[in-house]
Amino acid sequence: MSKQKRIAIITSGGDAPGMNPAIRAITLKALKCNFQVIGYYCGYNGLIDEHYTELTTRHVNDIIHRGGTIIKSARCPAMHTESGLLQAANSLRKCHVDSLIVIGGDGSFKGAEALAKHWSGQIIGIPGTIDNDINGTDATIGFYTAIDTALGCIDKIRDTAQAFERTFVVEVMGRDCGIIAMEAGLASGAEQIICKELIDDEQLFLDKLKEDVALSLANDAAHSYVLVMAEHSLSISAQELAEQLKTHTGVDSRSAILGYVQRGGAPVAGDRILATQLGIEAVKHVKLGHTGIMIGVENGQVKTTKLADTSDTHARNIDFVAKLKEYRL
């Protein structure tokens, strides 16, 4: 039998649908390996405040279908300070934690790396963020649900846009990554997808965009026109863009910001399966004594990436822009 280990889990940064299935998978797999599991509340804050709970089968039995995270998530500014990091490390020692599994985005992994300078236990990352902006995995937990949620909303907006022959600018989330905009835009048949990966010169981009919209509406004014825009992709808001389009084309233009709905809801099958797979694999790596890695899935294969390399998204962005240019009709 393997050595009895004590595993701690945190969910950190923006919450994402699928975090609960990941907690469930880690807990059930770990208990099978005869490990103990605790969950710290509210990301790194739980470490600093020593606020945690033991996780058993009873806690995770009925959570695979639930959005959010039973151990809560949060940002934790104290992790950016030396004293915060020391407190977090001391708390892990005090609770006799051998291994910390961090479910979060690239910021959370930076926190994990910073913590590793003060704590010698194992740290394993699981990509959990709707933004899908992490190197070393094709998808992050929460991404599939977020796209479906955005898609459902855009389809509804299309109906009303069609009825009123309006132009709509729909802003989706993604932080600094346009992949939610791209996938929701492709899936909804949006006439335009706007994300910063496509923009070298914003003014030139906007001038061309307005011309394209005007030309399309001139050819077929009696139809709707939907632009899916990633948040932070332009220096102007979705509303300002809609106003500029109205002025330029003469067609009634509105905007809608989808916002936090994209973070909520029951995780779709893709996120539940990914979360289960990554959770189980994380415990296998705990058992093997590995540390400083994130578990991901690329081309159907489980793979590990050093935490330090997870924020290097340069190659990913090149693939992303190529796909967007190829498949946008």
Instruction: Say how far apart CA 33 and CA 52 lie, in whole Å.
Output: 21
Nearest distance from C-beta of residue 291 to ligand ATP, angstroms: 17
Which residue lies nearer to ligand ATP by CB, 46 or 279? 46
Alpha carbons 63 and 278: distance in angstroms, whole number = 16
- Which among 78, 67, 17 has a CA at the least distance from the CA of 43? 78
Measured in degrees and rounded to the nearest 5, phi and psi for residue 47 equal -65, -50
Q: Which stretch binds ligand ATP (CB under 6 A): 34-42, 73-81, 158-166, 244-252?
A: 73-81
Q: Pick the binder of ligand ATP from 39, 68, 107, 267 (CB under 6 A).
A: 107
Active-site pick, 49, 98, 106, 131: 131
By CB under 6 A, which span of 25-33, 61-69, 106-114, 286-294 interacts with ligand ATP? 106-114
Please, which residue, 111 or 267, has the CB nearer to ligand ATP?
111
C-beta of 57: minimal distance to ligand ATP in Å?
A: 28
For residue 40, give the 3-state DSSP assignment.
strand
Q: Which residues pair with 101 in a beta bridge?
A: 9, 124
Element containing residue 176 per DSSP (H, E): none
Least separation in angstroms between residue 23's CB and ligand ATP is 16
Task: Return d(Cα 225, Cα 19) in angstroms, integer.
Answer: 35
DSSP string, 261-316: GGG-SPPPHHHHHHHHHHHHHHHHHHHHT--SEEEEEETTEEEEEEGGGTT--HHH
Window contacting ligand ATP (CB under 6 A); options: 30-38, 107-115, 191-199, 221-229: 107-115
DSSP helix, strand, coil percent of the chain (3-state; round to 5) = 50, 20, 35
Gap between the Cα atoms of 168 and 42, Å rounded: 37
110 binds ligand ATP per the rule CB under 6 A: yes
Of these, 35, 40, 41, 44, which contacts ligand ATP (CB under 6 A)? 44
Q: Which of 17, 46, 68, 105 binds ligand ATP (CB under 6 A)?
A: 105
Q: Least Å distance between CB 243 and ligand ATP?
A: 29
Question: Which residue's CB is nearer to ligand ATP, number 65 or number 80?
Answer: 80
Question: Which residues 2-31 are close enough to bind ligand ATP by CB under 6 A?
Answer: 12-14
Q: Least distance to ligand ATP from the beta carbon of 69, Å?
A: 12
Active site residue 133: no
Residue 68 interacts with ligand ATP (CB under 6 A)?
no
CB of 68 within 8 A of CB of 36?
no
Q: Which residues pair with 6 in a beta bridge?
A: 36
Residues that bind ligand ATP (CB under 6 A): 12-14, 44, 75-76, 79-80, 104-108, 110-111, 114, 129, 131, 175
* Residues classed as catalytic: 131
